[in-house]
Chain A
Amino acid sequence: MPDTAAETPTGDDFRKRRFRFDLFLVLTWLASVATVIALVWIVWSILQAAFPAMAATGFSFFTNAVWNPNRNIYGIFPFLNGTAGSSGFALLLALPLGVAIAIFLSEDFLPSAIRQVVRFVVELLAAIPSVVYGLWGIAVIIPMVQSWGGFLSQKFGFLPIFAPPATGNSMLTASLVLALMVLPTITAISRTALVAVPKTLREGSYAVGATRWETIFKVLLPTAAPGIVAATILAFGRAMGETMAVAMLIGNSPRLTWSLLSPAGTLAGLLANQFGEASGMQVSALMYAALTLVLLTLLVNIAGELVLRHTQKTIAGIR
């Protein structure tokens, strides 16, 4: 093709092209930076508003078990306990169930059509609004817990975990509903982890004569373990942040309790309940609690993300 000296691109042309102003690039770059700044801005705003309370209470905020705005005593230990307790117990219930469903969805016990239906149903559970879970909990779970809880606290009340008073609105009720809410998260990520296990491992296991379940327990689950751990951590983060359903079911009590059957309070519930009427130092203390909550969820989510990325590398390594 005729390529005269005039048409051949020169070094100058290349340099001019590289520095040409690309408006679209700038726009997209700004959008990306805005996303990053959004998170920083959220944390910074809350931090600013929390300064007065931080100066006044310092670290005793986390260890003090009394929350009394009337007397200007602010301590969120009962709420930290409630948040950790309800989320932890919810995970305890949801983890075996979620992993079981993940195994069911990744193996061919039943035809693919049925598997798709179950997968669809589990994902639908994630789409139900939090308030609806709260209402369902009030209608269905609270009566159940009232009868069973009363029985448990009478027979086993000497154990601190079942100590009276046993009410319908308790940590147990909230945990049961929270377990349902985090189930889709655990199932989805665990299923991905199980399916990502290379065929070679399964084939090898069957080749030495293992049954289906021996393969699952001894080969698949250990290999997929980091993914399942990541699923758990992310589900924990989700459970910690859950506000509406928990506030409707947990009884919102600012007193420290170790019993599953007694009312408790969570950080998110504290914020939802008391922000409306708060004034002065109470607002700042609530902001301090909000800061705690957001930093905790961020930490948990960062941990989950890092474990998930590590899984990716591990699987790639096996391949």
Chain B
Amino acid sequence: MSVAIDSAPTSPIKAGSGWDRFRLARNTFWTVLCVGCSFLTLVPLFSIVYLVVVNGLPLLSPNIFAQLPPAPGLEGGGFGNAVQGTVVMVGIGILFAAPLGILSAIYICEYNRRSSLAGTVRFIAKLLTGVPSIICGVFAFARVISRPLPAESPWPYLRCRPFCLPPNKLFWEFRTRFGKLRTEWERPGSRPFFA
């Protein structure tokens, strides 16, 4: 998004009185502080990446995906079970969430844009993204785990996954495809407040 500061003064302001000089000095001070803070945020990110890379990279090997965790007291092994579990869980979650989210997005953009259902869906989808992930787990526990199930079933953990994904899918589709296009087409010159 372009920045609306073309009209900032480009030539140096002539500092006449002492007060003006003070104003200029204060200006420079705040600039330095602001830019400094912005670069300060790079530090934690690099720290995190450094920590993970330095400790993790030497141990990176194909074994990680192929092997199971070793018994205590033994070396080696990997966490292939965790990788597979993550992939399966996320895969099934997206399988549920993608159709739901895309269809909802199509509804609120193509049909009945201004209906109360469309407004409600937009609002509630945004709220759903704010629900803490532990609540999804608690919900799955209340609905699924409290009732006995056959062994080896990943079902309980997957039931809650779809609830976290539709809102994200919804908004991605909404904004990138339909939102900008439709708004500009319907109200030329207006600025969609999505960004």
Q: Which residues of A contact B (CB under 8 A)?
A: 25, 27-36, 38-39, 42, 45-46, 48-49, 96-97, 100-101, 103-110, 112, 118, 121-122, 124-125, 128, 132-133, 135-136, 139-140, 180, 183, 192, 195-199, 202-203, 206, 209, 211-214, 216, 234, 237-238, 240-243, 268, 271-272, 275, 286-287, 290, 293-294, 297-298, 300-302, 305, 312, 315
Please count the residue pairs between chain A and chain B whose beta carbons lie under 8 angstroms apart in the complex: 213
Given contacts A42-B139, A104-B35, A122-B41, contact A136 B47 (CB under 8 A): yes
Q: List 5 A-B contacts (CB under 8 A).
A: A28-B107, A46-B142, A48-B142, A110-B35, A294-B132
Q: What 9 additional pairs, Cβ within 8 angstroms, besides A97-B40, A125-B44?
A: A27-B103, A32-B104, A125-B41, A195-B1, A202-B7, A213-B27, A241-B132, A290-B134, A301-B126
Q: B residues 135-166 with Cβ under 8 Å of A?
A: 135-139, 141-143, 146, 163, 166
Name the prevailing secondary structure of the A interface residues.
helix
Residues of A close to B74: CB separation below 8 A: none
Q: Could you tell me the distance in whole angstroms from the C-beta of B66 to the nearest C-beta in chain A?
A: 23
User: Residue of B at shortest CB range from A298?
Assistant: B127
Q: What CA separation (Å) do A108 and B8 show in the bound complex?
A: 9
User: Residue of B at shortest CB range from A227?
Assistant: B193
Q: What CA separation (Å) do A310 and B163 show in the bound complex?
A: 28
Closest 4 CB pairs of A and B: A241-B132, A31-B103, A28-B107, A301-B130
B84 at the interface (CB under 8 A from A): no
Contact B138 A287 (CB under 8 A): yes
Residues of B close to A203: CB separation below 8 A: 7
Given contacts A35-B128, A35-B167, A38-B166, contact A124 B45 (CB under 8 A): yes
Q: Which residues of B contact A (CB under 8 A)?
A: 1, 3-9, 13, 23-24, 26-27, 30-31, 33-35, 37-42, 44-45, 47-48, 51-52, 99-101, 103-104, 106-108, 110-111, 117-118, 120-121, 123-128, 130-139, 141-143, 146, 163, 166-167, 170, 191, 193, 195
Given contacts A28-B111, A97-B41, A271-B134, contact A33 B117 (CB under 8 A): yes
Name the one of B37, B48, B100 contacting A97, with C-beta atoms under 8 angstroms.
Answer: B37
Contact A298 B48 (CB under 8 A): no
